[in-house]
Amino acid sequence: MQLPFHPILSDTSIFLQAERISVRYGETEALKEVFLQIPTNRVTVLIGPSGCGKSTTLRCINALVKLSSGVISYGDESIQNMSETQLRRTMGYAIQSVGLMPHLSVEENVDLVPRLLGWERSGRGERVGRLLNLVRLEPGIYRNKYPHELSGGEAQRVGVARALGADPPVLLMDEPFGAVDPLTREQLQDEFIRIQRQLKKTVIFVTHDIDEAIRLADYLVIMKEGEVVQADTPEKILSSPQDDFVERFLGPDRSLKRLSLFTADHCCIQEVLSGLEGPSKSVLPEDSTRCYWQVDEGNRPLKGFMWINGRLVSRVVHSVNHTVQTYSSMRECMATILSLGLPAAAVVDDEGHLFGEVRFETIQTISVS
Amino acid sequence: MRLYKRSASPNHVIRRWIPLILITAGLVLYITSSALQTTILSFLFPGETQFTHSRKTILQMTGAHITLTIAATVLSSVFGIFIGILVTRKAGREFQQLVLKLNAFIQTFPPSAVIILAFPVLGFGWKPALLALFLYSLFPVLGNTVVGFNSVSPAAIDAAKGMGMTWFQQLHIAELPQAFPMIITGIRHSYILNLGTAAIAAVIGGEGLGTIIISGLTLRNSALVLSGTIVISMLAFIGEQLFALLSWKQTSHGDRTEKQANMSKKEK
């Protein structure tokens, strides 16, 4: 039998390969001879409706679910020949229900895998501090808290920090942002993108949220009834869905979804007009189509100005809602542009400094290309 | 800022220890001094002439009583926790319902019935008394151990497995601490049960405080009955306080979040 062929990313190697893996629970077949390749240092997202086998696939990779047949190979070795506990300790694991140990403090939870690995005690406390900073939790405040004192979003951040605890090369994430409210989810996704850019892990991510999938994925695997339907880059899948199922799954707003594929720092203009004072005629003449940003001493945008139909329109920038981060998607940029009421949005870096601006024309160009 | 106390303030600790220390001191004084026993009892029962047991001192009987109670409690704790862990593992899960039903059944027996039923089977002396106490108090520990382990959040177990804990690590790092408050409650229940049942064990040769209570009942001497009862109540109070301290230390920072406990199991 010919193996189903799914193109793999050309710019990286294969980290892990599943060959014709099947899982049966009695009569029901959860996975049917799935063939799957996971690219190294990229985010692979498994997506599909409930019961499609995406979670099962993930749990096969760290041997929480036993294969009925087939082989998963990790480098040159088959995982069936490796010690389950050793294998799992090299894979960070984050799940929807977080599963923090309620009797351990945040610090002890994050420190669990290094503790299992028997790392030297000195330096571990410092490492916990660094990880908490990475997920944007102030170590001084959170280190000694207990899980019942955390909000859902905070608990999930701790869960991600714990998964990164022993600096594993691969992260398995099973709907990690599924149980939090939409606003927190968006923040967590932003953070995830930021962290992934910094750490470049091999991530295998399960979700049922197509927007989340398109936003996060470098390599998207669409599953249905225990089989892989299509696996490719999100761009390819959005532009040429394999069949009706994929097309219906992507939804009617495919072009809008495409915007999620681009981030602000790649699409923004970095030479912006800005200054501590409001715009003078010489900087922003009446016939200019550019936008001018008034900033404070720390180069943080305060106000945006633009000539529209012979009128100088100004809008006050409230840092949270009216600017976008360098790693925000173009979809968020569009939302920001609409809410600010200027045909451009200011892009700020991690510290809130003005980084550039995203213009509405750019968005138009992207969505038609 | 949310204030959160991990350890109690010194004031708090003292307040918890004061009644315990007072009662313990009272107990020691009472059981060691027959003069004190006579003074108190003759004040309460001016009509009586005999205030101590004819052959044994209160001290001897208390010693035997404590030994019997603690031995039975330790035995039932060790076996109860061990069996409880076995039936909450994957391999032993099928026996769990049986154990829980047996537990509910045994609990319906009154302590006196246990001792009287044990007599024809086990004979006379402290050994049969110990065996009867052990069997009877095994089930509170066992039942609570099972309930304790079953209440561990499934998400925490999944995470523990997923991060690569061995069977043993999963037990002692993830599950046991979460089940601990429940187990302590079981041991506490078992201790109190044993303390009372050990008094009845005097009828089959357990040499505890039941001896003086029973001779008081036979002689229609309320002073003797009260003398034994006072000591048992103080032992019960001290035990309760010690267990409360133990489980309070464990749970003060370990309150499980409702959220985590209620999290539904993941799609399988």
Same domain, A327 and A293: yes
Q: Please tell me the total count of domains within chain B.
A: 1
Alpha carbon of B13: minimum distance to chain A alpha carbons (Å) = 21
Average pLDDT for B158-181: 93
Instruction: Give me the pLDDT at residue B122, please.
Output: 78
Mutate to test the interface with A, among B180, B255, B267 (most CBs of A within 10 A): B267
Q: Is residue B246 part of a domain?
A: yes
Please state the rounded mean pLDDT for residues A119-127. Answer: 90
The range of the structural domain enclosing residue B109 comes to: 58-253
A106 in reach of chain B (CB within 8 A): no
| Inside any domain, residue A337 | yes
Q: Same domain, yes or no, for A297 and A317?
A: yes
pLDDT at A261: 84
Sheet holding A43-47, edge to edge: A91-95, A170-174, A202-207, A43-47, A219-224, A227-232
Is A76 among the domain residues?
A: yes
Host domain of residue A255? 14-90+169-261
In a domain, B22, yes or no: no
Instruction: Spell out which residues of chain A touch residue B161, defining contact as CB-CB under 8 Å.
Output: 64, 88
When pLDDT is averaged across residues A326-336 and rounded to a whole number, the result is 88
Q: Tens digit of pLDDT for each residue in A32-48?
A: 999 999 999 999 999 99
Question: What's the CATH number where B174 sits?
Answer: 1.10.3720.10
- What Rg do the C-alpha atoms of chain B give, in angstroms? 22
- How confident is residue A251, by pLDDT bands cut at 50, 70 and 90? confident
In a domain, A164, yes or no: no
Same domain assignment for residues A241 and A330 = no
Q: What is the pLDDT of residue B80?
A: 95
Q: Highest mean pLDDT: which of A157-166, A252-261, A265-274, A336-345? A: A157-166
3-state secondary structure chain A: CCCCCCCCCCCCCEEEEEEEEEEEECCEEEEEEEEEEEECCCEEEEECCCCCCHHHHHHHHCCCCCCCEEEEEECCEEHHHCCHHHHHHCEEEEECCCCCCCCCCHHHHHCHHHHHCCCCCCCHHHHHHHHHHHCCCCHHHHCCCCHHHCCHHHHHHHHHHHHCCCCCCEEEEECCCCCCCHHHHHHHHHHHHHHHHHHCCEEEEEECCHHHHHHHCCEEEEEECCEEEEEECHHHHHHCCCCHHHHHHHCCCHHHHHHHHCEHHHHCECCCEEECCCCCCCCCCCCCCCEEEEECCCCCEEEEEEEECCEEEEEECCHHHHEEECCCEHHHHHHHHHHHCCCEEEEECCCCCEEEEEEHHHHHHHHHC
- What is B162-219 written as a DSSP string? HTT--HHHIIIIIIHHHHHHHHHHHHHHHHHHHHHHHHHGGGGT--STHHHHHHHHHT
Which of these, B221, B241, B268, lies nearest to B27 by C-alpha position? B241
Q: Tens digits of per-residue pLDDT, A205-219?
A: 999 999 899 989 999
B260 at interface of A, judged by CB pairs closer than 8 A: yes
Question: Which residues of chain A make contact with B154, given a CB cutoff of 8 A?
Answer: 97
pLDDT beyond 70 at B260? no
Q: What's the average model confidence in pLDDT over B103-113?
A: 81
**Do both A281 and A250 map to the same domain?**
no
Domain boundary among A231, A261, A291: A261
Is residue A257 in a domain? Answer: yes
Whether A84 contacts chain B with CB within 8 A: yes
pTM, full prediction: 0.77
End-to-end CA distance of chain A: 39
Residue A162 has pLDDT above 60, yes or no: yes
Q: Any idea what the CATH number is for the domain that residue A353 is in? A: 3.10.580.10
Contact A112 B166 (CB under 8 A): no
Same domain, yes or no: A81 and A184: yes
Q: Are strands A14-25 and A69-74 parallel, antiparallel or unpaired?
A: antiparallel
More confident residue, B117 or A44: A44
Same domain, A219 and A207: yes
Please give the average per-residue pLDDT across A136-162, as a whole number. Answer: 93
Q: Domain ends where: A205, A230, A261?
A: A261
Q: Is the pLDDT of residue A177 over 50?
A: yes
Structure confidence at residue A369 as a pLDDT band (50, 70, 90): low
**Domain final residue, candidates A243, A261, A279:** A261
List Cβ neighbours of B46 (8 Å cut-off, separation of 6 or more). none
Q: What is the residue-averaged pLDDT of chain A?
A: 89
Q: Which residues in chain A are contacts of B152 at CB distance < 8 A?
A: none
Give me the percent of chain B exceeding a pLDDT of 70: 88
Q: Output the domain CATH number for residue A63.
A: 3.40.50.300
